[in-house]
Structures are given as C-alpha cells and as structure tokens.
C-alpha cells in the first residue's frame, strides 16, 4: 500500500508540475511559458500529494474563500489514480473552507468525472437551476 502524505504546495517546481500536467493530457496549460507558475502564485490554496519526494497529485483552489471557492486543477498521476488520492486532496481543500458560500468547478464531461464529483457532494449546475458559461482563449483551442 502506498503511503501518501498531503501538504501545502509552497515551492513551485516547473519540472514536476509540467510532468503532472502532461501525464493527464492537460498540455494546453503548458503552451504559454510561465502560465502555471503565475497561476500557482495567485492561487488561494494549493495542496500536493507526495509518495516520498515524488509529486503524485495536486489541487488548486482559487477565489476569495468566503463567497466562492473554485476548484481548479485536481490532477493525479495516472499510475496513482483510483487509490483515493484525488478524493483526499479534494476533501482537504474543502475542509479548509467549511463556510464558503459556494464551491464550483469545471470537469471533463465523462461518466467517471461525474461519478467522482457527485460522490464528493457536487451537483450539475442545471440541477440547481443554473447554467454555466466559459470563454476560451486562443491557447486552448
């Protein structure tokens, strides 16, 4: 059994972050040099999962932490997926902001993603009388 520790991600390391994003196919984030470093610096909170010294998962929270917490970038290396790491990262992020008015996120439109987030207590926006909008910029096309 893998012993994973979760702790705040304080010292940004481009090599390990790039590896993590590439491993799950999120390469659009890597097209603009420095984007992720700036994004991480501006995050409300970032938590990392480690197997020894190896970064195997991460979650970023953005927003004000009072009226809104936006879960941005919950990633786990493929070989560590389905071991509860993503759930633990999400649980600890949510636990850090227990009184936030609303927590939102965008996820891939897959059965697996829906099952994961619904199990964590999230609902699809159309189920609560809302809709969502997104404006993508050229680097994501």
Give the 3-state secondary structure percentages of the chain, helix then strand then coil, rounded to 5.
Answer: 35, 25, 40
Domains of the chain, each with CATH number or no CATH: 5-140 (3.40.630.30)
Q: Walk along the chain (141 residues) and give the pLDDT tens digit of each residue.
A: 458 999 999 999 999 999 999 999 888 888 888 889 999 999 999 999 999 999 999 999 999 999 999 999 999 999 999 999 999 999 999 999 999 999 999 988 889 889 999 999 999 998 999 988 888 876 555
Looking at the DSSP bridge assignments, the partners of residue 45 are 61
Which of 83, 93, 101 is closest to 120 using CA atoms?
Answer: 93
Task: Evaluate whether 62 touches 43 at the Cβ level (below 8 Å).
Answer: yes
pLDDT of residue 2: 58
């Amino acid at each position: 059994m893998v012993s994973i520790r979760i702790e705040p991600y304080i010292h940004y390391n481009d090599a390990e972050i790039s590896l993590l994003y590439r491993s799950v196919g999120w390469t659009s984030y890597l097209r603009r040099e420095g984007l992720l470093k700036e994004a991480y610096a501006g995050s409300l909170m970032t938590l990392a999962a480690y197997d020894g010294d190896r970064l195997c998962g991460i979650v970023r929270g953005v927003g004000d932490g009072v009226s809104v917490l936006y879960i941005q970038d919950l990633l786990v290396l493929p070989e560590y997926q389905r071991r509860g790491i993503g759930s633990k990262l999400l649980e600890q992020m949510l636990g850090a902001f227990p009184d936030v008015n609303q927590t939102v996120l965008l996820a891939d439109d897959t059965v697996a993603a829906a099952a994961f987030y619904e199990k964590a207590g999230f609902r699809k926006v159309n189920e609560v009388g809302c809709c969502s909008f997104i404006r993508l910029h050229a680097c994501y096309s």
